[in-house]
Chains A and B, each alone.
Chain A
């Protein structure tokens, strides 16, 4: 019995030990559970959320650009793409080969896609082809069962309905370069494009919009299971321009009849730009897709510089269109009145030099109005010597030349108005009076862009207000347009004398642009011709009878014309430059006539810029 009790004791003790161990293990498990779920619960919750939630950025839609009537100039078109997700396609190559049956797809592209797929994670989609037509999309959708791993994706691609006619104003979009990365997360979206030139660039930030975000639940292979929270993206702001697209189209078409030309139509009072055309242009739609190297080379090599907006960046000697400034400077200086006359024998002698008037035999006796009407050089030569370059330059600048005009397109060039200090700074040389003579008729160092010439004309005919050009009406809901400008201190009598001269240039039968007068009732035009020398025709060439037309194209004169309409209380001004086109009256004036006639017929100034769009 002793043994039994002893063994019973041993047994009880050992059972107790085992029981205690069992309890102990539970305590350990409970403790560990508490450690994981209570002490570290929050940390694991965060990890589990990170496991399963990806934040996907939603690309915002780019703001539109429209003309003053709401005609779309830059829009977003749906861009259908076909993608392949490697992990969903058992045999990628087979799917791609099957795809070849339905859409055009070359073998090289298939290779590229397969190579790309190797480099990225298996659940990341690889683009096969974009800009699919609706027909191609339908074919693919219908045959999806035979195309494992493929899917259709809808994105946006920028499109320019007006094509080349507004290309220089609107600009184009492209992929951001290194320097463009300003930290905006939306730039990290693949294929996201930003404005590179023109209005697309000037208001790129406002037009970009704000990216949205979608919290997407993913499973362990990264596949999207469902969307949790979606914060919609916000479309960029709309830009409304002052441009009249139909007028712009007409201008571009008309300019296309020349080899290389540009033209501006502006509101003389407000400064609103109704048309800004430069020919040749380019199709901006080429830039939003991939352009071939040949196309790019062709654009660069074209001597007419299609990529340049010549209306604001082309700098030309203003030639005879400058004469109004000389006249005004002279009147302000008290050197001339409306009555003073000068005799023009066909040349002017100063010192040892003889400066020729364009008319061989001379114009005879002319006053300022007649000098403008006939574009007599001699009159202004003489006037110049009395005024001096500095006073001439001062008036020129007051009228808008020789400076940038705060225009929204950054291609704008400042032109050049020389004076004594400029010459000293530039050439370390004193100013010679002969140079003043040359400047008086808008040659020499003087340079102006068509935009500046239009502004100059406007300031002459709008009652003497320092108007400046602008092209942006609204960005989003905010108005950018301007209506009033400071008055300049110019005697209105002087302005009226000059205007009389300009009226007669076109409407008097002895005016240099009489052939371009507008005859339709209710419409009219005034202005000034100009012919800018590109190369000096030497005395020998002149003697040999070499004419402008005989020179190679790049050496021929530019034809210029500045105009306004209607004759009484002008509303619109224009400036036209035909590069190497020859005489202003022969080439540029008819162009201006057609443009100003169309402008008056359309009369864009009568309607306010459209606001209050729904989006």
Chain B
């Protein structure tokens, strides 16, 4: 905390404001609006119960995003480890509550929304690792001992989340952590070895999977074998998606979604609803918007003058693109069903908050890209 007193902004407020990535803000607004539209349709042409709530949370989140973006990146640098440990504690609390409760426990009820610590953990891991690797040199990256701490930083929350049980999120934390290692320059051989290890451990890991998780994988491999049971969601999603054709069925006219053939249409399968109603044109439009949003990560990273900013921006960008990829490929039947929301679009408080926080941090890395940061 030694450098705290010394942090001073070298830019005026208006300067900083102008350096906010307004392009990214615009994209966020556009994509979220698509989200509200889809939720409006999901509710059968009504703002309640989903669209209105999501809009409220969005406004709160947006304010938060701007605040975060305008906070000096050096603060975030300082708070990286405390945030990580706070998140870790929340995870432990959830775990304890889970033992007391029954089975899957992922949320803490805050009254106005459910808080899902595992979502926030993804950001915290990226921040902590960005901080850790900020001071690292190439030589450091080559030393295996140097990588022990990062490994723990990644694996500890992964283990906790897996116990929830939430295989999907734990894998995503793992993947985000691995991406951070990659960005920071860890040896390629490490990754090859890691992949080999992963492949080898599949048969062992299979053993530890819960029944429903096993079923999900089997169903993924052959959804048609059980069209009314486990394969139902995938099959229905593909039918709904495919039947949208090029131009879509029209706003509010997504028959599959509205006749309840498509389950979870406001959360996991929201993309299907959008693509059913707006067709290929609507679906590609959204994908292209996401594409532009992805590009901001590398763009901001390349312009940052300090490692922390670079790593933070890339790590959060990977996070975001991972979510998008997993959710959309799931609803299109490319990967097994995992409960992964589509950020900024799926109904859900924590996912939206996490996305906006992430973007806020990325923008902070851009606004303060020229800040001089100490090595430690």
Q: Is the CB of A26 within 8 A of B179?
A: no
If A18-B182, A52-B259, A219-B259 touch, does A26 touch B238 (CB 8 Å cutoff)?
no
Cα A28 to Cα B137 with chains together (Å) = 35
Choose, from B11-19, B54-62, B199-207, B277-285, the stretch at the interface.
Answer: B277-285
From the candidates A6, A10, A28, A45, name the one contacting B245 in the complex (CB within 8 A). A45
If A28-B329, A37-B283 touch, does A45 touch B275 (CB 8 Å cutoff)?
no
Cα A22 to Cα B256 with chains together (Å) = 31
Residues on A with beta carbons closer than 8 Å to the beta carbon of B310: 11, 15
Q: Is the CB of A15 within 8 A of B185?
A: no
Q: C-beta contact mask, A20-52 vs B, less than 8 Å → 1, else 0?
A: 001101101110111011101111110111011
Q: Is the CB of B329 within 8 A of A37?
A: no
Q: Is the CB of A37 within 8 A of B242?
A: yes
Residues on B with beta carbons closer than 8 Å to the beta carbon of A47: 239, 242-243
Whether a CB of chain B sits under 8 angstroms from the CB of A7 is: yes
Q: Is the CB of A33 within 8 A of B179?
A: no
Choose, from B212-220, B289-297, B357-365, the stretch at the interface.
Answer: B289-297
241-265 of chain A: CB within 8 A of chain B: none
Q: Is the CB of A18 within 8 A of B245?
A: no
Q: Is the CB of A225 within 8 A of B287?
A: no
Q: Is the CB of A29 within 8 A of B183?
A: no
- Residue from the set B241, B260, B324 with the largest chain A CB neighbour count within 10 Å: B241
Whether a CB of chain B sits under 8 angstroms from the CB of A220 is: yes
From the candidates A7, A32, A37, name the one contacting B246 in the complex (CB within 8 A). A37
Whether a CB of chain B sits under 8 angstroms from the CB of A14 is: yes
Residues on A with beta carbons closer than 8 Å to the beta carbon of B267: none
Q: Is the CB of A33 within 8 A of B332?
A: yes
Q: C-beta contact mask, B316-332 vs A, less than 8 Å → 1, else 0?
A: 01100100110011001
* B321: min CB distance to chain A, Å: 5
Cα A163 to Cα B287 with chains together (Å) = 75
Residues on A with beta carbons closer than 8 Å to the beta carbon of B328: 29
Q: Is the CB of B284 within 8 A of A30?
A: yes
From the candidates B137, B242, B259, name the one contacting A225 in the complex (CB within 8 A). B259
Q: Is the CB of B329 within 8 A of A29?
A: yes
The interface residues of chain B, by DSSP majority, are classed as: helix
Cα A3 to Cα B138 with chains together (Å) = 8
Residues on A with beta carbons closer than 8 Å to the beta carbon of B284: 30, 33
From the candidates B138, B261, B287, B288, name the one contacting A219 in the complex (CB within 8 A). B261
41-69 of chain B: CB within 8 A of chain A: none
231-280 of chain B: CB within 8 A of chain A: 236, 238-246, 255-256, 259-261, 275, 279-280
Whether a CB of chain B sits under 8 angstroms from the CB of A12 is: yes
Whether a CB of chain A sits under 8 angstroms from the CB of B153 is: no
Residues on B with beta carbons closer than 8 Å to the beta carbon of A225: 259
Whether a CB of chain B sits under 8 angstroms from the CB of A485 is: no
Residues on B with beta carbons closer than 8 Å to the beta carbon of A38: 245-246, 280
Whether a CB of chain A sits under 8 angstroms from the CB of B89 is: no
Whether a CB of chain B sits under 8 angstroms from the CB of A217 is: yes
Residues on A with beta carbons closer than 8 Å to the beta carbon of B244: 37, 41
Residues on A with beta carbons closer than 8 Å to the beta carbon of B183: 11, 14-15, 18
Q: Is the CB of A33 within 8 A of B291?
A: no
Q: Is the CB of A26 within 8 A of B138?
A: no
**Interface residues on chain A, size class:** 35 or more
From the candidates B255, B314, B318, name the one contacting A52 in the complex (CB within 8 A). B255
If A26-B287, A48-B255 touch, does A40 touch B242 (CB 8 Å cutoff)?
yes
Residues on B with beta carbons closer than 8 Å to the beta carbon of A41: 242-246, 280
Whether a CB of chain A sits under 8 angstroms from the CB of B301 is: yes
From the candidates A16, A37, A42, A51, name the one contacting B261 in the complex (CB within 8 A). A51
Residues on A with beta carbons closer than 8 Å to the beta carbon of B239: 44, 47-48, 51
If A15-B314, A22-B294 touch, does A44 touch B185 (CB 8 Å cutoff)?
no
Whether a CB of chain A sits under 8 angstroms from the CB of B302 is: yes
Whether a CB of chain B sits under 8 angstroms from the CB of A19 is: yes
From the candidates A33, A217, A218, name the one contacting B287 in the complex (CB within 8 A). A33
* B164: min CB distance to chain A, Å: 26
Residues on B with beta carbons closer than 8 Å to the beta carbon of A3: 137-138
* A17: min CB distance to chain B, Å: 8
Residues on A with beta carbons closer than 8 Å to the beta carbon of B329: 28-29, 32
From the candidates B240, B318, B321, B334, name the one contacting A32 in the complex (CB within 8 A). B334
Whether a CB of chain A sits under 8 angstroms from the CB of B298 is: yes
CB-defined A-B contacts under 8 Å, sample of 14: A3-B138, A11-B183, A14-B182, A18-B314, A25-B321, A26-B288, A26-B294, A32-B332, A37-B246, A38-B245, A41-B246, A43-B242, A47-B242, A48-B256
Known interface pairs A33-B283, A47-B242, A52-B256; 9 further A-B residue pairs with C-beta atoms within 8 A, sorted by A's residue number: A10-B138, A11-B185, A18-B317, A22-B297, A26-B291, A29-B325, A37-B275, A45-B245, A48-B255
- Which chain B residues have a beta carbon within 8 Å of chain A's beta carbons? 137-138, 179, 182-183, 185, 236, 238-246, 255-256, 259-261, 275, 279-280, 283-284, 287-288, 290-291, 294-295, 297-298, 301-302, 310, 314, 317-318, 321, 324-325, 328-329, 332, 334
- Which chain A residues have a beta carbon within 8 Å of chain B's beta carbons? 3, 6-7, 10-12, 14-16, 18-19, 22-23, 25-26, 28-30, 32-34, 36-38, 40-45, 47-49, 51-52, 217-221, 225
